[in-house]
Amino acid sequence: MLFSGRAHPTLAKEVAELLEVDCVPTTAYDFANGEIYVRFDESVRGCDAFVIQSHAAPINESIMEQLIMIDALKRASAKRITVVLPFYGYARQDKKHLGREPISARLMADLFLAAGADRLMTVDLHTAQIQGFFDGPVDHLLAMPILTRQVRKRYGKKPLAVVSPDAGRIKVAEQWARQFDNAPLAFIHKTRDVSKANVTKANRVVGEVAGRTCILVDDLIDTGGTICQAAEALMNDGAAEVVIAATHAVFSGEAIDKLKNSVATEVIVTNTLPLADEHRFDKLTVLSIAPLLAQAVSAVFEDGSVTSLFSE
């Protein structure tokens, strides 16, 4: 049985259609003081439950609603509860940069476990080791095949270079480079002010990018500052053009304007998070993550292999 929160019902409906099932009818509303109420309108006893909720803004409400849904399922005797997180909230807080900081990504995993989740399924975590924060199976799905297919279709005949926006994403960029016949690899050397959120400075390009179409890859775009600075640095270093590819379109603050006015030729993202029509622009290409989620849900339900979805 498939259950959807209120954060991104369009994606849940698309997954349900691909699986040829219906989302379970649910009554959900907020009390006057902001408390959330959820009740499922049909029996869930003994079911294999998949609870889809993307942690979209307002993010804390999305998370709390999903926890309440899990608790309701546990108390209604669902046999197994799989939490489907197209976007895992707080994933960037996966380690301590300074003293007296939380590791909120771990707290998130503990909350899901305490609520009654048996399994997590998520797409492109900020860092892969977050899988170890949850005491149970975690299916870490990769959007890379969906994104690379689009890049290959549009730019496959041009000389490419794969670029990581910082040194921390080099491993992911290497995987991308292998998809394009071991295209040259580069990264942006940047500095981050750990005392301020979302403040970075792109210093210089490390690698050969001159005359090439640079595919700038990241897991998410939040305010757009880092990725737009990186695109400018690449163009200043002689790149022919820059294509930005990211899984999660968080798009906070002035991100839309920054991307719209950036030097990038195209911005490719997936629909792990809801994107209103007014937030779309000419350079933006949104690819559906629903087929990947549907395949993974089907594989888990049938006790099949999720890893085989990404085998070359």
E strand or H helix that includes residue 219: strand 213-221
Is 190 labeled as catalytic in the residue annotation?
A: yes
Pick the catalytic residue: 153, 157, 158, 190? 190
Asked if 220 contacts 248 with a C-beta cutoff of 8 angstroms, the reply is: yes
Name the amino acid, one letter, at 41: D
E strand or H helix that includes residue 206: strand 200-206
Q: Quick one: which of 217, 218, 219, 220 has its CA closest to 183?
A: 217
Q: Quick one: which of 142, 126, 124 has its CA closest to 306?
A: 142
Distance CA 234, CA 245 (A): 15
Q: Which residues pair with 290 in a beta bridge?
A: none
Give Cα separations from 190 to 152, 165, 187, 203, 244 (angstroms): 28, 8, 9, 5, 17
**Rounded to an integer, what is the distance from CA 83 to the centroid of its chain?**
15
Strand order in the sheet with 48-52: 2-4, 48-52, 80-85, 119-123, 138-141
207 Cβ contact list (under 8 Å, min separation 6): 161, 163, 184, 185, 186, 187
Q: Quick one: which of 57, 63, 49 has its CA closest to 5?
A: 63
Give backbone dihedrals phi and psi of 39, rounded to 5 degrees, phi first.
-145, 135
End-to-end Cα distance, the chain: 30
Asked if 271 contacts 286 with a C-beta cutoff of 8 angstroms, the reply is: yes
Q: Which residues are catalytic?
A: 190
